[in-house]
Amino acid sequence: MNPKRAEGTTAGAREPEAAWRGLHAQASAPYRAAGRFAWHFARGKLGRDPVFRSLLERGELRGRARVLDIGCGQGLLASLLQACSEAAAQGQWPAAWGEAPQARQYTGIELMPRDVARAQAALRGLALAPRFVCADMRQAELPPCDLVVILDVLHYVDHAAQAALLARVRAALGARGRLLLRVGDADDARGFAASQWVDRVVTMVRGHRAPPTWGRGLTQWCELLRGLGFTVRTVPMSRGTPFANVLLLGEAGAPADGAGA
């Protein structure tokens, strides 16, 4: 036994810090094939946005074979899931994080054709074989899945469209599915204004027609999800940023009345 190994790790497993560095490098690497912007963006976003590492540390992606990523951008989550499977297969997964995620199917839905093109150029060779659909989430078909991830996307569409999409998400998840939804808390005026400002600049640069403006307070988000039959937990998710982002973890119980497709 290696006396330097921290308590709780297994043979070959890495310390969390080294493991995250490896995952970050591994998940960014495929984007070199999609050009300098795609690669720098992947490195920057995976490295600076606290949500990706946090989802792994907290085990939120564990045990979910079929993943649906709505508003997936250039598909960073698909690349990260692939990197997780490889790290686990090589005995490089930190024991402190529990079992590694083992996604078997990934579908990403994204409105912007340029993001989809970058995702496909970068990730077409992955064993996970991610599928990217260029479509508006308000109309796109949602495949049956075990995990739906929606990170910083819902404020692009109005309140009625948010509610309609979440009802379809609930139906696609079935019993015991999980929703990971990151939103800005509109009740935190300063943090929400900061993210609104950044989003407006980014969406203008990226050629979006509609700026993302439709926020809700955290209480309203929770009520909306509970009304659809989710059990909801909330986790602050803007560490190291000026934003008011919160991750809502929705566990699907028995389908709620009226929560159909």
Rule CB under 6 A: is residue 72 a binding residue for ligand SAM? yes
Residue 234: strand, helix, or coil: strand
Binding segment (CB under 6 A) for ligand SAM, from list 91-99, 151-159, 169-177, 220-228? 151-159
Q: Which helix (H) or strand (E) holds 164?
A: helix 159-173
What CA dihedral angle connects 243, 244, 245 and 250, to 10 degrees?
180
Long-range contacts of the stretch 42-49 (C-beta < 8 A, 24+): 42/74, 42/76, 42/79, 42/122, 45/76, 46/76, 46/80, 48/240, 48/241, 49/241
Closest approach of Cβ 79 to ligand SAM, in Å? 11
How many angstroms separate the CA atoms of 102 and 85, rounded?
Answer: 6
Query: Does residue 250 touch ligand SAM according to CB under 6 A?
Result: no
Cβ-based neighbour number of residue 261 at 10 Å: 11
DSSP secondary structure code for residue 185 in this structure: B
Determine which residue in the list 115, 146, 185, 188 makes contact with ligand SAM, applying CB under 6 A.
115
Q: How far apart are CA 62 and CA 97, in angstroms?
A: 10
Among 138, 159, 193, 235, contact with ligand SAM (rule: CB under 6 A): 138
Considering only 8-16, 65-73, 92-100, 252-260, which stretch makes contact with ligand SAM by CB under 6 A? Answer: 65-73
Residue placing its CB nearer to ligand SAM in the complex, 4 or 209: 209
Task: Point out which span in 1-9, 105-113, 231-239, 251-259 binds ligand SAM (CB under 6 A).
Answer: 105-113
Q: Which of residues 195-224 bind ligand SAM (CB under 6 A)?
A: none
Work out which of 16, 71, 94, 215 binds ligand SAM, going by CB under 6 A: 71
Contact flag: residue 153 with ligand SAM (CB under 6 A): yes
Q: Which of 55, 76, 95, 172 touches ligand SAM by CB under 6 A?
A: 76
Span from 4-12, 29-37, 148-156, 167-175 in contact with ligand SAM (CB under 6 A) = 148-156
